[in-house]
Amino acid sequence: MTNSGRISQSAFDGSRLRVILLLDLYEGAQEQFLDAYEVMRSQVASVPGHISDQLCQSIENPSQWLITSEWESAPPFLAWVNSEEHVETVRPMHSCVRDTRSMRYSILRETSPASPQAAGSAKTGMQVKARVGDGVARHALTFTVKPGSESKVAELLAGYRSPKAQVDDTTRLRRTSLFMHGNRVVRAVEVEGDLLAALRHVARQPEVRAVEEAINPYLEQDRDLTDPDSARVFFTRAALPSVHHVVSGRPEPAGLRRHALYYPAKAGCGTELARLLAHQDEAAADDPSSPVYGSTVFQRDDIVVRLIDVTGELDVDPVASLGLKGRDKAAELERLLDGAAIGVEGSLDSERNINRLLSHADMLPVTDRSSADS
């Protein structure tokens, strides 16, 4: 692929967020759904970063409902929607809902009678300009397996046949990258078109269902994928959203290699750590000498994973590979990382500790499949 320009997508631009949730209810479940919604509404009203929400019912089909909410920015919403509190809050709705679809948008322009806004004018909480994307949605899942089962799980996850890449006329599974760090599994996907349609397509494929069943005995969190409620809770807890993606505008160099780096954050520091890495990768994208050509940062709670496409080996330039370039950046990263979890004592200013951190953070590649391999 040759990029015609720089690609940058981020949850950290400070713009307000509009979340749209489409729901298709079972007939006769409206009152039960409304009771569950009232509980959720009272709880979400106190969540930091939440501004407002609306519940709407279709005037054409009473089974179709819409929930819209507005947030100060994307990070507080992502923290809420991926929390255990949210999992438990929405559980009573599961028996009411036949199907759901969630969409998230940053607010770029708005008009009101009291304050008309011209295109391009600045306003607090507005996305400054339209982002340039590449038509690809990125998402990851993460879960842990029982200690001692890592090699067996890696064997199972590496050995299955790839599902059909083409989902429909507009959606294609482009790439799946799977890594492990100790007993933690991270599976990242790239989809051209509709992410939800692609995920559902993959979940229905016999080869995927077989490998998912094969790893079930090794999972630390029990699940039953034949039970919609169990499957929904598992995948909600496993979600590892993409919070930042950037690709340099320079021509794609030959021989790019994909790596995943795992950064365990101190308690409560996951979002700040992800923001720091996103800032560092923006700078790398503008640096023609940087070995980091593209990066995606995934974050959930205090789990941060950085997927990078680089030229050469990571240890040729460990500072760039880790996202440490620049004055005081090592100290900032050191402040946010859980030192005990990464086995690093002392300052990251030392070459020895930087190399130790890189060795610890570098995840084990299990499989990396593009649609061309399918």
Rounded distance between C-alpha atoms, residue 122 and residue 107, angstroms: 12
Q: With contact defined as beta carbons under 8 Å apart, do 317 and 246 qualify?
A: no
Chain centroid to Cα 248, Å, comes to 20
Q: Which residue has the tokens 């680089």?
A: 310
167: buried, middle or exposed (CB in 10 Å: 19+, 13-18, 0-12)?
buried
Which is nearest to 243 in space by CA: 286, 310, 198, 300? 300
- Strands (DSSP E) contained in 194-238 are none
Q: Which residue has the tokens 């909600």?
A: 236
* More confident site: 7 or 178: 178
The predicted structure's pLDDT at residue 2: 40
pLDDT tens digits, 76-100: 999 999 888 888 888 888 889 999 9
Chain centroid to Cα 74, Å, comes to 12
> What is the arithmetic mean of pLDDT over 250-256?
91
> What is the arithmetic mean of pLDDT over 175-198?
94
Q: Are strands 172-181 and 136-144 parallel, antiparallel or unpaired?
A: unpaired
Rounded distance between C-alpha atoms, residue 93 and residue 102, angstroms: 15
**Residue 191: pLDDT over 90:** yes
pLDDT tens digits, 111-164: 877 765 554 444 567 666 778 888 899 999 999 999 999 999 999 999 888 888
pLDDT tens digits, 329-365: 988 998 999 877 776 666 777 888 888 899 999 999 9
pTM here is 0.90
